[in-house]
Structure 1
Amino acid sequence: MSTTSTAVAATGAPAVRRRRRGNPAPYLFMAPGLVLFVLFLLVPMVYAVYLSTRGLRLEGGGPFGRREEVFVGLDNYVAAVTNADFLAGFGRLLVYGAIAIPLTLGLALLFALLLDATTTRAKRFSRTAIFIPYAVPGVIASLLWGFLYLPTTSPFSDVTQALGLGSIPFLQGGTLFASVANIAIWGGVGFNMIIIYTSLRGVPAELYEAARLDGAGELQIALRVKVPLVAPALVLTGLFSLIGTLQVYGEPTTLRPMTTSISQTWVPLMTIYRDAFSRDDLPLASAASVLLAVGTLVLSAVLLRATQKRAFGDS
């Protein structure tokens, strides 16, 4: 390299760095997203935490007393964690999640493996058909399934009655949890399947060929090669399913007018909604919301930590 080019390179590099450092284009592109994040996520979160430490107290006494907002510390949090309705909702979530999460992930993995198999036909049509339920809004899906559950409108009840088995109580008793979970499974399998299938498509084909040369069949390749390689995708979909379970609200709320088995506090979010808008107790609802958000964050962190530790331990 000549002396002149060396000098140009030496003097030009800082100039290029200065131009890049002073370029406002990245900040302009990021500005709308940052503004929306601050206005519709960060500010409401901070306000919810502030509101959870407030309370209404009657000042002045007698018939002419007035309600004033005062600082109450952690009183609302204590009231939330001792609220029987709020805690009972988590028990129902546990039963609901035990049905919805394994079936959603299991079916998504099964469909992804079938679509990735070399002998599968009509892959594009099958992939679209499995994904389409995810595009249906949750409230619409709940209404559709609700009419399928009602004995007076359900074609399933017509079939069972014709067979002399009577009507199936989809929204009563022990079948209630399975009926509500079925709506989430029907809508969530396609989304999770796409994530797992995309992960499978990123696996080099040479690994499959090497396994076939070693005498492995398609089932062995699926169980011993494909499933371990898509473990990160399974963790991600499991995390999404866990968060979705903790945020269940639309399905039971939509089905509630159709049955007497779903109460106003069937899940935690329904209890929060009742406290906020039926009882006009926004501080208590804010405290319960903060507890739910923190619990979701902690469970997600524990899940990620456990899976990472297992991955590093296996390696």
Structure 2
Amino acid sequence: MTSITAMAASRPARRPRRQWRGWLFVAPFMIVFALTFLAPIGYALGLSLFRDQAFFGGTTFVGLDNYAQVLGDAKFWESFLRVLLFLAVQVPVMLLLALVAALAIDSARLHAAGFFRIVVFLPYAVPAVVATLMWGFIYGDRFGLAADLNHLLGRDVVAPLSSGWMLASIGNIVTWEFVGYNMLIFYSALKVIPNELFEAAAIDGAGPLRTIVSIKLPALRGAIVIATIFSIIGSFQLFNEPNILYTLKPNVIGTFYTPNMYAYNLSFGGQQYNYSATVAIVMGAITAVIAYAVQLRGARKGM
């Protein structure tokens, strides 16, 4: 009996048979993911390694020459610095307004909080094209609210579509569109805070401001990081608003006002598909690096 037990113990344990059934469940997602995400990126990477031959026709392999050209392209860096300035000013203002709105709705002192929440979120339901057209009519210096104010004052005082105010006007449109979206992210995070924390703060005599600083804001750290990352990505992807306003003020915006507009006009206006793909890839890489850095910094502060 002892020898049988020893022999059984000396035998190597059988490895469990690998089950492939799980892959059958994830296969539809993997196929769609490969076709809609990986394949376009691979195709764009392939385009960026070639260049059209102007005189002989066709394309020729140039390796990383297109990337070197982008890094020395003044138009690309001008558009990049413009959206970077847009990000540095517009994103903090938008997130601050969204945070204030979420805290106001979450407080018990705001009357008709449900109605206020719907009103703040409603602009997000408006398509970006419709919102830009609407604000374009308001900004118009020959029609709309700006023109009426100038006519009332007897001089051109309000000029939202001028070169000095164009970026701020676009920032106003984007802020109007996405304050409600970010407010909903913050409000959702506030609703999962345990009530025991508020009860303990009330027992300790903490007022509303102390409760916000010590309980609500620390609980919102993760939501603020997520909203910041989404806002950074959205800022670098800025396209709809300036592209639509371009029809009103083409001499102010131009064809390379943002990197996305530059890539779009290179591809569909100049037929430079290879260089356009290179611009898009470089911009995507920069966006990914900055968003990842923000995520790491937010994760470290949350520890």
Q: Name which of 220, 223, 226 aligns with 2:213.
A: 223
After TM superposition, give the deviation of residue 167 of structure 1 in Å.
4.2
Q: Name which of 9, 20, 24 aligns with 1:27.
A: 24
Distance (whole Å) between structure 1 residues aligned to residue 21 and residue 33 of structure 2: 23
Q: Identify the residue that residue 12 of structure 2 maps to in structure 1.
A: none
Distance (whole Å) between structure 2 residues aligned to residue 156 and residue 114 of structure 1: 31
String of CA shifts for 1:99-148, please: whole Å, max 9, x gaps. Answer: 22011100110010001001222122111111111111111111010000
8 Å CA contact retained: 1:95, 1:177: no
Q: Name which of 225, 228, 231 aligns with 1:235.
A: 225
Q: 1:185-224 alignment to 2 at 5 Å? A: 185-224=175-214
Distance (whole Å) between structure 2 residues aligned to residue 89 and residue 72 of structure 1: 25
Q: Identify the residue that residue 285 of structure 1 maps to in structure 2.
A: 276
Q: Identify the residue that residue 139 of structure 1 maps to in structure 2.
A: 129
Which 5+ residue runs of structure 1 have no aligned equivalent? 1-16, 59-64
8 Å CA contact retained: 1:54, 1:71: yes
Q: Identify the residue that residue 46 of structure 2 maps to in structure 1.
A: 50
After TM superposition, give the deviation of residue 310 of structure 1 in Å.
2.5
8 Å CA contact retained: 1:148, 1:156: yes
Measured at CA, do residues 205 and 285 of structure 1 come closer, stay the same or move farther in structure 2, by a change above 3 Å?
same
1:272 and 2:263 matched: yes
8 Å CA contact retained: 1:151, 1:167: no
Distance (whole Å) between structure 2 residues aligned to residue 202 and residue 56 of structure 1: 56
Q: 1:158-197 alignment to 2 at 5 Å? A: 158-159=148-149, 161-163=151-153, 166-197=156-187
Identify which range, 124-133 or 237-246, moves more after superposition: 124-133
Equivalent residues, number: 288
1:305 and 2:302 matched: no
8 Å CA contact retained: 2:140, 2:146: no
8 Å CA contact retained: 1:171, 1:179: yes
Measured at CA, do residues 279 and 164 of structure 1 come closer, stay the same or move farther in structure 2, by a change above 3 Å?
closer
Helix, strand or coil for the counterpart of 1:55?
A: strand
Measured at CA, do residues 165 and 110 of structure 1 come closer, stay the same or move farther in structure 2, by a change above 3 Å?
farther
Q: 1:110-121 alignment to 2 at 5 Å? A: 110-121=100-111
Q: Identify the residue that residue 69 of structure 1 maps to in structure 2.
A: 59
Distance (whole Å) between structure 2 residues aligned to residue 218 and residue 284 of structure 1: 55
CA RMSD in angstroms, aligned pairs only: 2.1
Helix, strand or coil for the counterpart of 2:238?
A: coil
8 Å CA contact retained: 1:101, 1:238: yes
String of CA shifts for 1:280-301, please: whole Å, max 9, x gaps. Answer: 1111111111111111111111
TM-score, normalised to structure 1's length?
A: 0.85
Distance (whole Å) between structure 1 residues aligned to residue 53 and residue 20 of structure 2: 54
8 Å CA contact retained: 2:146, 2:159: no
Q: 1:232-271 alignment to 2 at 5 Å? A: 232-259=222-249, 260-271=251-262
Helix, strand or coil for the counterpart of 1:261?
A: helix
Q: Identify the residue that residue 88 of structure 1 maps to in structure 2.
A: 78
After TM superposition, give the deviation of residue 157 of structure 1 in Å.
3.9
String of CA shifts for 1:37-80, please: whole Å, max 9, x gaps. Answer: 2112110000101110111236xxxxxx6313221110000111
Distance (whole Å) between structure 1 residues aligned to residue 252 and residue 207 of structure 2: 48
After TM superposition, give the deviation of residue 173 of structure 1 in Å.
3.0
After TM superposition, give the deviation of residue 171 of structure 1 in Å.
0.6
Q: Identify the residue that residue 95 of structure 2 maps to in structure 1.
A: 105
Helix, strand or coil for the counterpart of 2:247?
A: helix
Distance (whole Å) between structure 2 residues aligned to residue 105 and residue 196 of structure 1: 9
Measured at CA, do residues 302 and 132 of structure 1 come closer, stay the same or move farther in structure 2, by a change above 3 Å?
same
8 Å CA contact retained: 2:149, 2:158: no
Distance (whole Å) between structure 2 residues aligned to residue 166 and residue 297 of structure 1: 42
